[in-house]
Structure 1
Amino acid sequence: MPSLSNKKVLLVDDDDSIRWVINETLCDLNLNVTQSSSAEEAIESLSKNSYDLVISDVRMPGSSGLDLLNHCQKHYSGMPVIIMTAHSDLDSAVKAYSKGAFEYLPKPFDIDEVSEIVIKALNKRTPKKEKMAPMSKSNFSIIGESTAMQNLYRAIGRLSNSHVSVLIKGESGTGKELVAHALHQHSPRKNKPFIALNMAAIPKDLIESELFGHEKGSFTGANARYLGRFEQADNGTLFLDEIGDMPLETQTRLLRVLSEGAFYRIGAAQPTNVNVRIVAATHQDLLQKVEAGEFREDLYHRLNVIPLNLPSLRERKEDVSLLANYFLHEISLELNEPEKELSKNCLIAMQDFAWPGNVRQLENTCRWLSVMANGQYVVKEDLPEEFHENKTPKFNSGWQKQLSNELKNRYADGENNSFVQVQKRFEQLLIKTALELTSGKKAEAATMLGWGRNTLTRKQKEDS
């Protein structure tokens, strides 16, 4: 890795404690750090000094971090800017990336992640980005503050200047079409059509006509020319939902369109040229379907240029409260009724629920509560029947039996320090599993274990 010792970083945040934490991290990397508490102070510092990187918060008194980002893009093109924010959502992520931010970092952040991003930024100059049309507020709400959703916002932000194909993967009810809408709404094609077609909802013998259109008289019942979804979406985005249900013969035609940018309407003698961005979605394992000969491998790779994996609701339970309150508010406006309020025990029950139908099921539950719950204050007993059914134990008893047998063997061998040894091994296994599940992010792993990040770091040092 190239030396960072001569690199200069301008750190901008009105919060002294945040600046202190990041400054300590940057100094550990042997970086030369200058601190500013406002965008105005940072702009003045930039006019007098040369910097290799700017790290700035978004919301500060006076000018914002995005104003500072605009200034840097205008006067110091190519210098990377990392944007931090404690108020993270899809729009702020897209704004940061579309204005040229090198990275978007939601608070609270993992210090190790900060180090990785800073090193990456200092070793790579940011290319000048194509300007986008001014971004309008999306009509399609994607709600969530969990780490999984922050990663999704960042991915959509990175794709905001792109025309590449995207494959959205996720369980039913996770919001795949909402994400497809967001990709379109925050792209250069935003003022062009967004056309959706669900492969599972169209009879197989009508799919090709729906996609590619037909000429008058091309088959029985074709009484007029019909422009298919590809032509309807010209210069815009075509969203193909449940792509795994597309028949093989249609997959072949779709592959040809993606390769050549042209197709024939059914019954047509001349090809039709189109410029369409494809966003596909599936809840199935397409690679498994490829192995089974049910999905073309070449089409899979054409569609899977950028994969987006949507988390299930049980993987982001911290968003349940936020989503539920959002739905209850929207439904109250729709019904012109007072908004329901969820009690603490009701929220706990909702967060503990498995949500097999994901966000769609949560919305339907909120709709049910808005109509059926007695009074404005909703308690646990008001929840639908499925919340009161007997739950299966969270842990299989098999591991307990294995542990018991292991201890019996140790006692039989005369060991007297079994508790300490088993406890240590058990703890090491918990830490290892949590780090694997969070891709090595210590802050997330510590949260999963119910510890603070410093506790996790200390225990790792004790084991090393």
Structure 2
Amino acid sequence: MKPIWIVDDDQSIRFVLEKALAREQFAVRSFSNPRDALAALDDDQPQVLVSDIRMPGGSGLDLLGKVKARLPGLPVIIMTAYSDLDSAVSAFQGGAFEYLPKPFDVTKAVELIRRAVEESLREAVRDERSAEMPEMLGQAPAMQDVFRAIGRLSQSNVTVLITGESGSGKELVAQALHKHSPRGNGPFVAINTAAIPKDLLESELFGHERGAFTGAQTMRRGRFEQADGGTLFLDEIGDMPFDLQTRLLRVLSDGHFYRVGGHQPLKSNVRVIAATHQNLEDRVRQGAFREDLFHRLNVIRLRLPALRERREDIPMLARFFLQKSAKELGVETKRITDAAVERLLGFDFPGNVRQLENVCHWLTVMAPAQVIEPKDLPPEFWPSAGGGAAPAAASPAAETVSPPAFGATATAPVALGAPMSAEAVIASAMPAGTPAAPDAPPRWLVDLEREARSLLESGTPEVWERLTRQFEGQLIHTALDLTRGRRIEAAHKLGIGRNTITRKIQELGLDD
């Protein structure tokens, strides 16, 4: 493994990190200024770069930009003093993996660097696998069956009917069938028959002559003519108006059609691929779809599985869509943690692959850091959302909650005995005789949402600082109560360093 690079003009910072990382069996290389680090990139590369922001002879943010231009996948951790937190925003915008506030707890710093190393190693493997992305992705057995079918149909011009739920990728399959067919060099023309008004659909499909109807100022070629020598993809064929189904059947039967208002038959040299999310057999029984047209289209049927039937493909698809979105937006690709992927795997995706792609686009724009954690996912992926429901804070269950206990001490200084116990908070938020809904969020989160809303609507200043102090004070108070005031043990239970808990106790006035 490559070494960890540390760039800081403070010799004591370099010394502390070098010793701590050496104890964890990490190789380390240190630099006192950005200039030397950039020069070293000519013959060496780090696994992770840790850099200060303010240094004589160069800025850590400038170093970040130059390093990312050469090594876009390198995790960079920016060290910053509290007064530099505005700079941390710039660091994230520049592609930093995370920022490390000074003064930092050494244990937490090493833990953060270890996470960056693990992410770097995972990214290296992913980069090798995704060096050349295929036109369609899928390792699940159901998708492998689809790929085999495309291969078997590659040298055929036979009509294909693709079925599958909305958003499952039916047009991608149609494009693949076209690309690998003898017509691959011809045009691929797609039309969604459900998205075009009935009065216009006939003209869209078959074209029209000048003067055929009001507004027809010129002759127009339809999709059948545009697709001559290639493939015409008719999406959502189940929604085609009944009278147009008759005209389509004639084209499929004898290969001839007329433009709207025309008298000269035109020859169709087109392969038709149709797709629908509906059950066409049911549509035939209901009298909404012609049986003879159904049999004409249903020469070869290809069923595309829903995303919930191929969950093993979700991690690969998510990372692909994050790359795609970043490229479209001109930003650096964000990385997604295994924990966030697990959250995606537990979701049913009623909108299938299209929904996953939209989620990844949303994350590219909205996730605050370069690494996507579970908390960064949209509300429908939160545990309390019930696998796709609206956030529970807006549910009827939330409306029955009594006034918040979370903010009961909002205007009082945070002292050691001030916060309520966890039991008291839960008890005060639980109306008598009202059972908790199984999908409802924890009561304290509902209380927090109500208190935050109340403070924000009233224009109370420094809402973030006020509620954060209460939250941290309650956590530390509870841990100290359980450990009978032993700070090191309390810090261990909370998962923070002893220096951190000492500093927080001082900042929050818990010693008073």
Q: Secondary structure at the match of 1:317?
A: helix
Q: Which of 242, 250, 255 is equivalent to 2:244?
A: 250
2:312 is the counterpart of 1:348: no
Q: 2:352 aligns with which of 339, 350, 358?
A: 358
Partner of 2:295: 301
1:291 aligns with 2:292: no
Aligned counterpart for 1:174 among listed residues 153, 168, 178 = 168
Paired residue secondary structure (2:331) = coil
Trace 1:315-464 onto structure 2 (pairs within 5 A). Answer: 315-388=309-382, 390=384
Distance 1:147 1:139, change over 3 A: closer
The residue identity in structure 1 corresponding to 2:189 is I
Deviation string 1:307-350 (CA, Å, 9 cap, x unpaired) is 11001110000000000111111222222322211112111110
Does the 8 Å CA contact 2:379/2:385 hold for their aligned counterparts? no
Q: Deviations over 1:256-286 (max 9, x none)?
A: 0100100111111121011110000001111
Inter-partner Cα distance in structure 2 for 1:357 and 1:201: 18
Amino acid at match of 1:283: H
CA distance in 2, matches of 1:343, 1:364: 18
CA distance in 2, matches of 1:237, 1:257: 14
Question: Could you tell me which amino acid in structure 2 is paired with residue 208 of structure 1?
Answer: E
1:260 aligns with 2:250: no
In structure 1, C-alpha distance between the alignment counterparts of 2:186 and 2:340, rounded to whole Å: 43
Pick one of 292, 308, 318 that aligns with 1:314.
Answer: 308
1:38 aligned partner: none
- Residues in 2 aligned to 1:341 and 1:232: alpha-carbon distance in whole angstroms: 42
Between the aligned partners of 2:230 and 2:329, the Cα distance in structure 1 is 34
1:144 pairs with 2:138: yes
- What pairs with 1:90-109 in structure 2 (closer than 5 Å)? none
Q: Which residue of structure 2 lines up, in the alignment, with residue 235 of structure 1?
A: 229
Q: CA deviation at 1:392?
A: 5.3
Which AA in structure 2 matches 1:191? N
Q: Distance in 1 between matches of 2:325 and 2:208?
A: 41
Other structure's SS at 1:200 match: coil
**Match of 2:275?**
281
Once residues 390 and 357 of structure 1 are traced to their aligned partners in structure 2, the CA distance between those partners, rounded to angstroms, is 20
Distance 2:340 2:197 in 1: 42
Deviation sequence 1:331-377 (CA, Å, 0-9, x none): 22222322211112111110111101111111111111111112111
Unaligned 5+ residue runs, structure 1?
1-137, 394-464
Match of 2:214 among 220, 223, 241: 220
Contact 2:160 2:297 (8 Å CA) reproduced: yes
CA contact (8 A) 1:169 1:176 kept: yes
- TM-aligned CA distance change 1:197 to 1:145, over 3 Å: same
Q: Distance in 2 between matches of 1:323 and 1:212?
A: 37
Q: Whole-Å Cα distance in 1 between the matches of residues 262 and 246 of structure 2?
A: 18
Q: Does 1:165 align with 2:165?
A: no
Q: Distance in 2 between matches of 1:378 and 1:286?
A: 41
Q: How much has 1:206 moved relative to structure 2?
A: 0.8
Q: Which secondary structure state, in structure 2, belongs to the residue aligned with residue 278 of structure 1?
A: strand
Question: 1:376–1:334: structure 2 CA closer, same or farther, 3 Å change rule?
Answer: same
1:199 aligns with 2:193: yes
1:166-194 per-position Cα deviation (integer Å, ceiling 9, x unaligned): 00101111011111111100100011111
Q: Which structure 2 segments of 5+ residues have no match?
A: 1-131, 388-512
* 1:200-220 deviation line (CA, Å, top 9, x unaligned): 111001111111111111111
In structure 2, give the amino acid aligned to 1:383.
Answer: L
Aligned equivalents of 1:358, 1:368: Cα separation in 2: 16
| Amino acid across the alignment from 1:195 | V
Q: Distance in 2 between matches of 1:293 and 1:280?
A: 19
Provide the rounded CA distance (Å) in 1 between the counterparts of 2:372 and 2:133: 29
Q: Measure, in 2, the Cα distance between the counterparts of 1:214 and 1:140.
A: 39
Distance of 2:197 and 2:259 partners within structure 1: 18
Q: In the alignment, what sits opposite 2:184?
A: 190
Distance 1:222 1:336 in 2: 42
Contact 1:167 1:304 in 2 (8 A): yes
Distance in structure 2 (CA, Å) of the matches to 1:268 and 1:318? 52
Per-residue Cα deviation, 1:98-156 (whole angstroms, up to 9, x for no partner): xxxxxxxxxxxxxxxxxxxxxxxxxxxxxxxxxxxxxxxx9982111111111111000
Give the 3-state SS of the residue equivalent to 2:185 in structure 1.
coil
Q: Following the alignment from structure 1 to structure 2, what is the Cα–Cα distance between the partners of residues 336 and 299?
A: 46
Instruction: Report the residue type matching 1:324 in the other structure.
Output: A
Partner SS state of residue 290, structure 1? helix
Aligned to 1:271: 265
Write the deviation string for residues 419-461 of structure 1: whole angstroms up to 9, x where unpaired.
xxxxxxxxxxxxxxxxxxxxxxxxxxxxxxxxxxxxxxxxxxx
Other-structure match for 2:103: none
Q: Does the Cα contact within 8 Å between 1:140 and 1:181 map onto a contact in 2?
A: no
Whole-angstrom CA distance in 2 between matches of 1:318 and 1:333: 25
Considering only CA atoms, is the larger Rg found in Structure 1 or Structure 2? 2
1:153 counterpart = 2:151: no
Structure 2 CA distance for partners of 1:299 and 1:140, relative to 1, 3 Å: farther
Distance 1:318 1:361, change over 3 A: same
